[in-house]
Amino acid sequence: MATLGLKEQLLDYSNQFDCVALYDSNSIPSESSKVDWIFACGDRYSKSIDSDLTKFQSFLDCHKNEYLFGVLSYDLKEGIEGLSSRNTAFHDLPAWSFFLPELLVKSVKGKVEWLIGNSDVLSSAVQKEDETEVYSFHPQISKSQYLSAIASIQENLQRGNVYELNFCREFHCNSTNSIPIYSLYQKLQSANPSSFSAFFRLKETVLISSSPERYIMKKGSTLISEPIKGTIERSENKEVDELNAEKLRHSEKERRENVMIVDLVRNDLSRIALPNSVQVEALYSIRSLPKVHQMVSVIRAQLKSDVHFTDILRASFPMGSMTGAPKVAAMKLAEELESFKRGWYSGSVG
């Protein structure tokens, strides 16, 4: 058996802690990415079921200039926009939860840096045999319920109540094997390598993600948002692959969806930005991931002075690509048609 790689060794060591975060770019190059991957674990954390951001800002104020890792629930929208939800919460998830690392490691351009702690804590564990497991996912609503919701969305689009809507449905999975959850995460990364993959654990609750999309990033006084609307598959045939990318680039339908979200993000950021500082740096750009081509636009803004992190959330969360446009109208309609509370799904991790 082979010795575990560094990330696997870190995750093996992290089993003794309440909180773990691994954010991995899967070696997909990006001009704005800071790290190849970053890992943290620790026991000191805070969480809240309350969607009011006041407590969250107090927590942040108490830990200025410290590393924090955590997750934001989509349901924070209830405190931000005053919306309510009667949908079922199938998972007991906090509105936000962040922890302070007791071990912190990152890789930048292939060079590993130990920011907190050192490699002495690691053992020479060996790679266990990969268990073969077939996961069976079941939709939480029936096909007829799904089609009824789609018909209602189409009617609302025709009436102009919304211009674009992100409608979600939840799938449940039954598994008899006790396969380690990190093995499932690895399978997901193998099937769909992405530039913003995440493994995040809060005690017994685990989030795994292979998201290609950056919600928001702050560099000094600059805010950067990179919404995605428009996806097409890759092909092993180079000629077909290039044709697919061009098809996506010139798709009228995808361009219309993309520019609506760009306008939404511009409007969101303008609430906290200096006058005339919101700029669309890239429109309809095509980024090629291992499995798909994506249509990505990039919006930058210069922040006003004295803008807190929760001010940024109040102006821009949830991300428009996961709501639709206009944002509040789309979220209200989604609440009516969906049958579950999204929780961490459609939220953000970082």
Find where tokens 């102006």 sit: 315
- For 121, 211, 224, 320, 324, the CA distances from 327, given in Å and listed in that order, are 47, 21, 19, 7, 6
Which residues pair with residue 300 across a beta bridge? 224, 279
Structure tokens that stand for 97 in this block: 């939860």
Q: Are 273 and 245 in contact (CB under 8 A)?
A: no
Cis peptide before 290, with omega less than 30 degrees from 0? no
What are the two backbone dihedrals, phi and then psi, of residue 166, each rounded to the nearest 5 degrees?
-95, 105
Structure tokens that stand for 157 in this block: 């689009």
129 is catalytic: no
Which residues pair with residue 198 across a beta bridge? 23, 209
Strands 228-233 and 222-226: unpaired
Q: 73 in helix, strand or coil?
A: coil
Contacts of 162 (CB under 8 A, 6+ apart): 153, 156, 324, 325, 326, 329, 330, 333
Interhelix angle for 143-159 vs 327-337, to 10°? 150
Q: Which of 47, 77, 106, 229 is catalytic?
A: 229
Q: Are 93 and 340 in contact (CB under 8 A)?
A: no
Q: How far apart are CA 212 and CA 289, in angstroms?
A: 8
Which residues pair with residue 321 across a beta bridge? none
Structure tokens that stand for 214 in this block: 């950056």
DSSP classification of residue 31: T
Q: How far apart are CA 225 and CA 196, in angstroms?
A: 14
128 is catalytic: no
Q: Which of 78, 164, 170, 213 is catalytic?
A: 213
Q: How far apart are CA 103 and CA 12, in angstroms?
A: 13
Catalytic residues: 213, 229
